[in-house]
């Protein structure tokens, strides 16, 4: 590996206000430096500053130079919520929703049937294609959940396949109760917290539960998350997607890293989140694709809640892999400024995964970088649907 100078950066987003301000940039949360340069040493950011200071400020021998041609560099997106391991197609369900059929979590079962029937190799190829799709849109860290197996062997297969492409693997055996346990949901909870957890925990970092009417109750959620904690996993929760509930309060109580969806929050939920270390992860693709109301990112940020944005890429409620799309929708529909949406998609996602080595471009961080072929990141929302992401680097290596 070598030392690379990135120069002619029209705008560099560091997400490190102190370091940016010291280098002549802004001390806003996005820590922006205009006319910037950055030095990457063995996959890690070694120096950031003004291009004019690169030679003196860097003081490094440089092996290679990357000319950014006045474009914008941002930290690679941290997509902290996805369900990439699945088979089958549910586009007809989407079309029906656009004509008025409501979203129902029960649709998950049709993906479960297709996923159980798919070969391991075809699942592996499909995940690889989706990961490639994400990379080419600027995403460099991806969380992937299981949850379309719902039997021991298939759930184990899904977390194992996910672990081949990311370290952020989440066991979501408690996605819904599968059809064969419809009359005995307690037995399914028993399976999830017993044999299934034992098979999946070695491949996973996280445990998640869909805490919602029609999925798992708050008591079941507590039992499943607690079993996960005992097995060495960290917690995250799907809650308040289809209506208000107690999932957000439980996530805060258990110190979950993130509670995701948050479509129907109460004032109490917002107050609880504001006083906690739990990130509220908003998933604009879901409201877009299910025609549910968009939650207010504005209300959360104003209350002091840390907000992340993620794709929730899955075949049912949100089949987008594009963080630029999520940013555009969050800016247009959720009251977030372009800077807030960008921060939520990078540093916010990193916080939702309790990672302190990604989501920022400052000294010591991984050189996970996305180039935007535009003079500023505002263009991500200003020019929705336009493929503005240029080159993408992970650990300093070009991946797209």
Integer Cα distance of 5 and 166 in angstroms: 27
Question: Interface with Fe ion by CB under 5 A: which range of 222-230, 243-251, 262-270, 307-315?
Answer: 307-315
How many amino acids of this chain bind ligand NIG (CB under 6 A)? Answer: 14
Residues contacting 194, CB < 8 A, separation 6+: none
Considering beta carbons, is residue 79 or 312 the nearer one to Fe ion? Answer: 312
Residues from 249 through 308 that contact ligand NIG (CB under 6 A):
286
Least Å distance between CB 285 and ligand NIG? 9
**Binds ligand NIG by CB under 6 A, chosen from 71, 137, 241, 362:** 241
Helices (H) and strands (E) in the chain, counts: 17, 16
Query: CB–CB of 144/83 below 8 Å?
Result: yes
| Tokens coding 190 | 């028993």
| Binding region for ligand NIG (CB under 6 A) out of 6-14, 51-59, 105-113, 368-376 | 105-113
Number of residues that make up the chain: 400
Q: What are phi and psi of 40, to 5 degrees?
A: -115, 125
- What distances in angstroms separate CA 185 from CA 132, 153, 214, one per listed residue? 37, 19, 11
Q: Which residue number, 168 or 312, has a Cβ lying nearer to ligand NIG?
A: 312
Least separation in angstroms between residue 290's CB and ligand NIG is 8
Q: Which does 221 bind (CB under 5 to 8 A by kind): ligand NIG, Fe ion, none?
A: none
Residue 316: name its binding partner from Fe ion, ligand NIG, none (Cβ under 5 to 8 Å by kind).
ligand NIG
Task: Report the side by side order of strands in the sheet with 168-174.
Answer: 77-79, 139-145, 168-174, 206-211, 234-239, 258-261, 279-282, 307-309
Residue placing its CB nearer to ligand NIG in the complex, 160 or 238 = 238
Contact partner at residue 19 from ligand NIG, Fe ion, none, CB < 5 to 8 Å by partner kind: none
- Which of 80, 9, 14 minimizes the C-alpha distance to 45? 14
Q: How far is the CB of 317 from ligand NIG (least distance, A)?
A: 3
Q: Which residue's structure tokens are 């959940």?
A: 145
Sign of the torsion formed by the C-alpha atoms of 46, 49, 55 and 59: negative
Q: How far apart are CA 236 and CA 283, in angstroms?
A: 14
Contact partner at residue 317 from Fe ion, ligand NIG, none, CB < 5 to 8 Å by partner kind: ligand NIG
Residue 317 within binding range of ligand NIG, rule CB under 6 A: yes
Q: Which of 108, 174, 250, 309 binds ligand NIG (CB under 6 A)?
A: 108
Pick the closer one to Fe ion by CB: 83 or 223.
Answer: 83
- x/- binding map, residues 312-331, to Fe ion, per CB under 5 A? x-------------------
Q: Give the integer Cα–Cα distance in Å for 86 and 357.
A: 29
Distance, CA of 237 to chain centre: 13
Dihedral class, residue 149 (left if φ above 0, else alpha if ψ from -120 to 50, else beta): alpha
Contact partner, 359, from Fe ion, ligand NIG, none, Cβ < 5-8 Å per class: none
User: What distances in angstroms separate CA 356 from CA 86, 145, 347, 361, one per listed residue?
Assistant: 29, 21, 9, 11
Among the listed ranges 153-161, 218-226, 271-279, 305-313, the one in contact with Fe ion (CB under 5 A) is 305-313
Q: Does 208 bind Fe ion (CB under 5 A)?
A: no
Q: How far is the CB of 145 from ligand NIG (least distance, A)?
A: 8
Shortest approach of ligand NIG to residue 336 CB, angstroms?
20
Q: Which is nearer to ligand NIG, 71 or 241 (CB)?
A: 241
Contact footprint for ligand NIG (CB under 6 A): 83, 105, 107-108, 111, 210, 238, 241, 286, 312, 314-317
Residues near Fe ion (CB under 5 A) are 312
């Amino acid at each position: 590996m070598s030392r690379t100078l990135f120069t002619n950066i029209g705008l560099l987003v560091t997400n490190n206000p102190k370091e940016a301000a010291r280098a002549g940039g802004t001390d806003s949360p996005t820590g922006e430096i205009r006319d910037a340069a950055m030095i990457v040493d063995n996959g890690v950011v070694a120096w950031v500053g003004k291009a004019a200071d690169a030679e003196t400020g860097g003081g490094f021998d440089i092996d290679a130079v990357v000319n950014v041609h006045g474009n914008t560099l941002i930290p690679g997106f941290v997509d902290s919520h996805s369900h990439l391991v699945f088979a089958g197609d549910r586009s007809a369900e989407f079309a029906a929703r656009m004509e008025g059929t409501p979203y129902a979590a029960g649709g998950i079962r049709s993906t479960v049937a297709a996923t159980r029937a798919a070969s391991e190799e075809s699942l592996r190829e499909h995940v690889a294609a989706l990961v490639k799709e994400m990379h080419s849109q600027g995403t460099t860290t991806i969380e992937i959940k299981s949850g379309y197996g719902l039997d021991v062997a298939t759930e184990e297969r899904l977390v194992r396949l996910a672990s081949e492409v990311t370290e952020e693997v989440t066991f979501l055996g408690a996605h819904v109760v599968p059809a064969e346990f419809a009359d005995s949901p307690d037995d399914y909870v028993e399976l999830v917290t017993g044999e299934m957890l034992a098979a999946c925990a070695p491949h996973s970092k996280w445990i998640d539960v869909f805490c919602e009417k029609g999925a798992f109750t708050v008591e079941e959620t507590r039992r499943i998350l607690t079993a996960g904690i005992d097995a060495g996993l960290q917690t995250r929760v799907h809650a308040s997607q289809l209506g208000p509930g107690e999932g957000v309060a439980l996530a805060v109580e258990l110190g979950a890293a993130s509670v995701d969806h948050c479509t129907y929050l109460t004032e109490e939920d917002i107050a609880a989140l504001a006083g906690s270390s739990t990130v509220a992860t908003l998933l604009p693709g879901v409201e877009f694709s299910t025609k549910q109301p968009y939650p207010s990112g504005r209300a959360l940020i104003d209350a002091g809640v840390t907000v992340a944005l993620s794709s929730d890429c899955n075949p049912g409620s949100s089949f987008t892999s594009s963080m630029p799309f999520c940013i555009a929708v969050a800016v247009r529909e959720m009251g977030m400024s372009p800077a807030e949406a960008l921060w939520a998609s990078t540093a916010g996602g990193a916080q939702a995964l309790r990672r302190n080595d990604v989501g920022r471009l400052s000294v010591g961080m991984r050189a996970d970088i996305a180039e935007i072929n535009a003079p500023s990141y505002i263009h991500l929302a200003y020019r929705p649907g336009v493929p503005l992401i240029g080159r993408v680097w992970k650990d300093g290596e070009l991946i797209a």
